[in-house]
């Protein structure tokens, strides 16, 4: 059902329509008429609120200088703190976050990827979720790189459990984690062409048989418009 004319919803602004960036082809998600009216936060000014300011202050102290030298911008949105870290400073930042007694983000919850084809020069993002068991705090790191140079330093040396997470992110998004001990595919076959969770990856595929039932390829399924 379209939400365009429901009472109480403003006509403008509209951030975007649909889901997953599907265009020019059938949207098999069922959310083809979704209307998103809230644009994402680009940057958040101080004060951030709660313990978020403490994390920023302690990180700046531990790095021994200006926080902006390592962190491009800070975003607080939906109760979550995100540091957009410069990729060349990523290893410095995660080591300090893990080891400094005032920070102690000793647990990583994993690495994932995002593809933003409309962000020229920052099309690929890696996202790291950290947790401090010592201080009961959470933090999200986001690192961007361009399609033309899809390289981000591997953090396996700091968080060894990132091994398989970085492999999956490379497998699905094509982000190359420099310094990874064995950056090979982990979900798709070794000879698979492309990275299937990118938004420019074609929806078409091959039919699958499951318990005798034929499941058509994505581009042959029912579409929702």
Task: Name all domains of the chain by residue range, CATH numbers in brackets.
Answer: 1-39 (no CATH), 41-190 (3.30.460.80)
Contacts of 142 (CB under 8 A, 6+ apart): 82, 83, 84, 85, 125, 126, 127, 128
What is the secondary structure of 137-188 as a DSSP string?
Answer: EEEEEEEEE-TTS-EEE--TTT-TTHHHHHHHHHHHH--EEET-S----SSS
Query: Quick check: 87 and 153 in contact, CB under 8 A?
Result: yes
pLDDT of residue 5: 46
Any long-range contacts for 177-184 (C-beta under 8 Å, 24+ apart)? Answer: 177/126, 177/151, 177/152, 177/153, 178/151, 178/152, 178/153, 178/154, 179/153, 179/154, 180/154, 180/156, 181/156, 183/154
pLDDT of 206: 61
The pLDDT of residue 36 = 74
Q: Is the pTM of this model over 0.75?
A: yes
Residue 58, classed as helix, strand or coil, is: helix
Report the C-alpha gap between 124 and 152 in whole angstroms.
10
Name the residue with tokens 């420019």. Answer: 200
pLDDT score of 208: 61
Per-residue pLDDT of the chain (225 residues; tens, 9 = 90+): 344 444 444 556 776 676 655 555 555 555 666 777 777 778 999 999 999 999 999 999 999 988 999 999 999 998 999 999 999 999 999 999 999 999 999 999 999 999 999 899 999 999 999 999 999 999 999 999 999 999 999 999 999 999 999 999 999 999 999 999 999 999 998 988 889 899 888 766 666 666 777 766 666 665 544
As a whole number of angstroms, the longest Cα–Cα distance in the chain is 63
Per-residue model confidence (pLDDT) at position 192: 86
């Amino acid at each position: 059902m379209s939400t365009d004319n429901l009472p109480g919803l403003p006509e403008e602004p509209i951030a975007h329509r649909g889901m997953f960036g599907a265009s020019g082809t059938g949207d098999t998600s069922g959310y083809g008429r979704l209307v998103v009216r809230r644009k994402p936060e680009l940057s958040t000014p101080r004060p951030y609120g709660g313990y978020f300011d403490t994390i920023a202050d302690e990180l700046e102290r531990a790095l021994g200088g200006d926080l902006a030298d390592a962190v491009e911008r800070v975003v607080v949105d939906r109760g979550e703190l995100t540091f957009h870290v410069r990729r060349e400073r990523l290893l410095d930042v995660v080591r300090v976050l893990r080891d400094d007694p005032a920070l102690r983000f000793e647990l990583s919850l994993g690495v994932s990827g995002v593809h933003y084809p409309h962000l020229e020069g920052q099309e690929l993002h890696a996202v790291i979720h950290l947790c401090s068991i010592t201080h009961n705090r959470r933090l999200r790191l986001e690192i961007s790189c361009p399609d033309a140079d899809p390289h981000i330093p591997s953090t396996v040396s700091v968080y060894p459990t990132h091994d398989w997470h970085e492999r999956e992110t490379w497998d699905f998004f094509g982000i190359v984690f420099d310094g990874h001990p064995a950056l090979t595919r982990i979900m798709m076959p070794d000879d698979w062409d492309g990275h299937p969770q990118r938004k420019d990856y074609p929806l078409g595929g091959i039919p699958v048989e499951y318990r005798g039932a034929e499941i058509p390829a994505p581009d042959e399924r029912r579409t929702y418009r």
